[in-house]
Structure 1
């Protein structure tokens, strides 16, 4: 039933934007800055703002492109229910994308170029890739680019210590991308169910990411263990019973587990203070997810 408000209410937009998932975004820029060997600065803040805008652009564009499928599988979502007009969602995606690029530009040309690649990946994923075998790879690339954005926005092309630091950024981006790939692969089945092998593979992938992240020292190992625990529990439950309900919980848990992973990556780059600050976001994400689903 239509609400008579084509632009929707605040609660409708909160659901469309999946606001409980935004806590998983700022850590990308902070982990990128840490991997580059730098403390957060104005460029990092610009990257965080750009990341949030581009992430939410992707959320609105996701529902815009899926509105016909959601009319069958998720009729209560804001677009198929008529609470928000599709044109309003598309317009919001365009505005948020432009805002994200503008914020990135404030951090310099390398940041703008990286943000442009990120925006292109987000739009390609939502409008084309997500229903193809390349979908998880597209989403993984977007998260990896978001971490790189934090690095280049903080310190240009990360020249501080040459190839070693650039390698650290690439390594952190790859680990974050691997986690995102696993979560996205499960999300493709969250409305219809899946073979147990799907969440089981995600469990194996996140365990491997936790192991690789935590092997560099005692402090990173603590945060990596927190990540591994946060990711493993929902995927293990879904593997035992791969029903739509438990798969959706696994995806939500996987999104929230991004936060301790970002913390572990920061600790891996000798930024334990940043890691501890990121971990404070995890309970906030959990509480808000009980009100607004992140999936």
Structure 2
């Protein structure tokens, strides 16, 4: 029984999704150029950046895990009708316990970020507040809801970049990529229960095409052997388009759910593409290592 209870608490944090959040941090870390410093000849510099990467990875685990746990806390009554198998409505986890766990996770996430620098801590605090705001109110807003969710991901990427805070003014616009991508996923996901959301699916498809174009543009703009980023972007397209097109054709809740799942997991590939553009293909491959881990966890724990 204890093992089942632990699994229920873990389910609240969406472990497969947490891995994608770690990929955000690693991508931001690569964009900042800090990844290259990990292989420098200065042991003191290496240790400092390794420690910062660990703190930021722990931070996003707390922020994301706590944020999605609060999602189930605020949706407990609705889930009792639409998704009774979830931990809280099924009685496996008390609502009060879930809220306490979510609060502790977010607090620890913010605290971990402050171990890196002031800007990291402030960004983490903002992401945590945005996540709770989305769970409590934003998700019910047709237009602001997807933007709210996207801002959480944008902040997560910037959290990785904040390891070198002086670079935030130069790279803040990169946050628009995960913002748009996650906003599109959020729009699409609204058909998981009832289906028939053709307009959202078409909009999502259009946003995905734009994002792929932007990724390719950045790859060649940076000049780091842009052609070596093409396989990453191609893999990204391969993962997201087939399930989305199938969902668009039939508009069935189950197919929409599969499309959302594929898009969420593919955040890892999106991040790998960004990392490869700024720090080289080998850094992109390091982030791709997270993909099989996330896929494995997705077979054990629900993604949405």
Would the TM-score normalized by the shorter structure come out above 0.5?
Answer: yes
2:239 aligned to which of 206, 212, 230? 230
Provide the C-alpha distance between the structure 2 equivalents of 1:110 and 1:271, rounded to a whole number of angstroms. 26
CA shift, 1:201, in A, is: 1.8
Tell me which stretches of 4 or more aligned residues in structure 1 moved more than 3 Å. none
CA shift, 1:112, in A, is: 0.7
Q: Which residue of 2 aligns with 1:143?
A: 153
**Structure with the bigger percentage of helix:** 2
Cα separation, partners in 2 of 1:21 and 1:230, compared to 1, 3 Å: same
1:268 aligned to which of 264, 270, 277? 277
CA shift, 1:27, in A, is: 1.3
Count of paired positions: 283
Q: Which residue of 1 aligns with 2:197?
A: 195
Q: Which residue of 2 aligns with 1:45?
A: 54
CA shift, 1:288, in A, is: 2.3
2:134 aligned to which of 101, 119, 125? 125
Alignment of 1:1-295 (within 5 A): 9-39=5-35, 41=49, 42-133=51-142, 134-152=144-162, 154-158=163-167, 166-167=169-170, 169-215=171-217, 216=220, 217-295=226-304
CA shift, 1:15, in A, is: 2.1
CA shift, 1:157, in A, is: 2.8
CA shift, 1:197, in A, is: 2.6
TM-score (norm 1): 0.91
Does the 8 Å CA contact 1:203/1:231 hold for their aligned counterparts?
A: no
Unpaired stretches in structure 2, ≥5 consecutive residues? 39-48, 221-225
Unpaired stretches in structure 1, ≥5 consecutive residues? 159-164
TM-score (norm 2): 0.88
Provide the C-alpha distance between the structure 1 equivalents of 2:239 and 2:81, rounded to a whole number of angstroms. 32
Does the 8 Å CA contact 2:9/2:98 hold for their aligned counterparts?
A: no
1:273-292 deviations in Å (ceiling 9; x for gaps)? 22101112222222221222
Does the 8 Å CA contact 2:70/2:98 hold for their aligned counterparts?
A: yes
The alignment yields a C-alpha RMSD, in angstroms, of: 1.7
Does the 8 Å CA contact 2:188/2:197 hold for their aligned counterparts?
A: no
CA shift, 1:8, in A, is: 6.7
